[in-house]
Structure 1
Amino acid sequence: MTFLRIIAHLLIPLALLGSTGIAMADESKFSGGFLNLEKSSDQQSSQRVLEFWGYHNTFGEQTQSDTLKLRYYQPLQFDQWRGTMRLDTSYVSTYGPALPEQSSGTYNAGNTMLTVWGNHPSILKNWEGTLGGRIVFPFGNYGQWAAGPQIGTVYIPRNGSDSRLSDFSPLLRYMYGFASKGNSFANNPNQPPLARNLNIYPTLGFNILPDTQIRLWDENGITWNTGGGGGWFVPLDAMVTHRLNKHFLFAVGASKQVVQSYPVYDWSFYGKLSFNF
Structure 2
Amino acid sequence: MRQPLLLILLSFCISSASIAADNETSSTKDYFNLKNSSWSYSPEHILEFWGYHAADNASNSTDTLKLRYYQPLSIGAMRGTARLDTEYVRNYGPSFPAENQGQYSAGNTLLTVWGNHPNFFSSWGGNLGARVIFPFGNQGQWAVGPQVGASYTPVEGSKTILANISPLVRYMYGFDTKKNSSQNNSTQSPLIRRLELFPTIGIQITPATQIRFWDENGIIYNSAGGGWFVPLDAMVTHRISKHFLFAVGAAKQVVQTYNQYNWTVYGKVAFNF
TM-score > 0.5 by shorter chain: yes
- The more displaced of 118-127 and 240-249 is 118-127
For structure 1, the 5+ residue unaligned runs are 1-7
Aligned-partner Cα distance in 1 for 2:257–2:38: 39
2:39–2:79 Cα contact (<8 Å) kept: no
Aligned-partner Cα distance in 2 for 1:137–1:165: 36
Report Cα offsets for 1:72-106 as digits up to 9, x if no partner.
000011110011110000000001123223322x1
- Structure 1 runs, 4 residues or longer, greater than 4 Å off: none
Partner of 2:188: 191
For structure 2, the 5+ residue unaligned runs are none
Q: Look up the equivalent residue of 1:25 and give its one-letter code.
A: S
Question: 1:220, CA displacement in angstroms?
Answer: 0.4
Aligned-partner Cα distance in 2 for 1:189–1:14: 32
> Aligned with 2:260: secondary structure?
coil
| Structural RMSD (CA) | 1.8
- The more displaced of 147-156 and 34-43 is 34-43
Q: 2:18 aligns with which of 25, 28, 47?
A: 25
Q: 1:261 to 1:34 in 2, by over 3 A?
A: farther
TM-score w.r.t. the length of structure 1 is 0.91
Aligned-partner Cα distance in 1 for 2:192–2:30: 38
Aligned-partner Cα distance in 2 for 1:191–1:62: 22
Q: Look up the equivalent residue of 1:247 and give its one-letter code.
A: H
Question: 1:252, CA displacement in angstroms?
Answer: 0.3
2:39–2:115 Cα contact (<8 Å) kept: no
Q: 1:14 to 1:276 in 2, by over 3 A?
A: farther
Question: 1:188, CA displacement in angstroms?
Answer: 1.8
Partner of 1:170: 167
Q: Counterparts of 1:235-254 in structure 2 under 5 Å?
A: 235-254=231-250
Question: 1:177, CA displacement in angstroms?
Answer: 0.3
2:140–2:189 Cα contact (<8 Å) kept: no
Partner of 1:3: none
What is the aligned residue count?
267
Question: 1:187, CA displacement in angstroms?
Answer: 2.0
Q: Look up the equivalent residue of 1:255 and give its one-letter code.
A: A
Aligned-partner Cα distance in 1 for 2:181–2:38: 46
> Aligned with 2:58: secondary structure?
helix
Q: What fraction of aligned residue pairs are identical, expressed as a percent? A: 55
> Aligned with 1:26: secondary structure?
helix
Partner of 1:262: 258
2:161–2:204 Cα contact (<8 Å) kept: yes
Aligned-partner Cα distance in 2 for 1:40–1:54: 30
Aligned-partner Cα distance in 1 for 2:121–2:255: 35
Aligned-partner Cα distance in 2 for 1:33–1:116: 32
